Amino acid sequence: MLTPLPDRFVNRAFTVTEAAEAGLSPRRLRASDLAMPFPHVRVPSSWLAQSATTTVAEKVTAKRRRVVAFAQAYLTRMPKNGVCSGMTAAYLHSIPLPLRFLDDDRLDFSVPYGARAPQHRGVVGHCISGTRGDITDVDGIPVTTLERTWCDLAAVLDVPDLVAAGDALIHHSSPRSTTRALAEAAGQYPTTRWRARRSEALTLFNDRAESPRESRLRVHLVRAGLPMPAVNPTVFYNGAFMGRVDMLYLEWALIIEYEGEQHLTDVRQWRKDIDRVNDFADIGLRTIRATAADDRDPAVLIERIRAHIATRERAITHDPNLSLRF
């Protein structure tokens, strides 16, 4: 039978030194109810347990929970003036990141220049320039601010993903930052590395994007030389609600919809999507549907859009019965 942990160790991280001072034996520290995320640190095993997840949203939620657990564990041996940064800061701030990072449990951790960057198993150490104004806290964990974190992400994200992160931060329904604040942070960034990437991303933000995939798709279109589409407008015809669409080129009567995973797994949603496409076709709007494959390689999608535009060389006469709301 396991020896009960002292109350002060229940549901928190603690060091091996603290445990020894409390009279816990090395054998007790190897018990299955404790995990060792870093050398000489113990946390409840439940903190790091892998939960069963199926949807992307569930996987992202589980990932953030693990990042919080690892970061709280590292607080027990965090260097002075240290701060979570980079991808770790992004997860703590719930900034959307590409799914390829989900399985990387290493912490990005930074200290000011002049200090020695951490070199521990499970930690990627960095030395950074900045001010205390670049630091805040999330769940009691010191972390770079939203704006500094977005700027730092330019080192690991391409322009479409950097735009997706920015779109999420400025979303009109619950903005957590502004384009201006992000631009000011980029302008004050202490190095010129990745400046062009940040600058281009700032010109492509849209506060109405509803998902990272939508943001990426929009960026692919604009970078290919297509105009900026209307983003998430609600379409009405004769005053009747027709639906909200992901992207719309009204002048070419063209809707572009991104089909996420829920469209493939939900039969009711699938049928609803078909009805929407038919309803829009009845009022003269064509729908082109895009998938994750088009995000990975948008060339075919872009050519399909260009081919549609080419058949409507002149802008269509606006149908007075058709209206949009944002």
| pLDDT at 117 (0 to 100) | 87
Nearby residues of 170 by Cβ (< 8 Å), 6 or more positions away: 176, 177, 178, 179, 182, 205, 207
Q: What local confidence, expressed as pLDDT, does residue 198 receive?
A: 98
**Residue stretches of the chain with pLDDT short of 70:** 261-267, 313-317
For residue 33, with 0-12 CB atoms within 10 Å meaning exposed, 13-18 middle and 19 or more buried, which class applies?
A: exposed
Residue reference for tokens 């942070």: 185
The architecture that CATH gives domain 212-325 is 3-Layer(aba) Sandwich (3.40)
Q: Identify the bridge partners of residue 127 per DSSP, sorted by sequence position.
A: 111
- What is the pLDDT at residue 265? 60
Q: What is the 3-state secondary structure (H, E, C) of 65-111?
A: HHHHHHHHHHHHHCCCCCEECHHHHHHHCCCCCCHHHCCCCCEEEEE
| The residue type at 105 | D
Q: Is 238 buried (19+), middle (13-18) or exposed (0-12) by CB count in 10 A?
A: exposed
Q: How far apart are the first and last CA of the chain?
A: 62
pTM equals 0.90
SS3 labels along the chain: CCCCCCHHHCCCCEEHHHHHHCCCCHHHHCCCCEECCCCCEEEEHHHHCCCCCCCHHHHHHHHHHHHHHHHHHHHHHCCCCCEECHHHHHHHCCCCCCHHHCCCCCEEEEEEECECCCCCCCEEEEEECCCHHHEEEECCEEEECHHHHHHHHCCCCCHHHHHHHHHHHHCCCCCCCCHHHHHHHHHCCCCCCCHHHHHHHHCCCCCCCCCHHHHHHHHHHHHCCCCCCEECCEEEECCEEEEECCEEEHHHCEEEEECCCHHHHCHHHHHHHHHHHHHHHHCCCEEEEECHHHHHCCHHHHHHHHHHHHCCCCCCCCCCCEEEEC
Q: What does the alpha-carbon distance between residue 148 and residue 85 come to, in Å, rounded to a whole number? A: 9
Tell me the β-bridge partners of 141: 138
CA 117/CA 95 separation, integer angstroms: 25
- How far is residue 261's CA from residue 211's CA, in Å, rounded to a whole number? 12
The full set of domain ranges for the chain reads 7-48, 80-202, 212-325
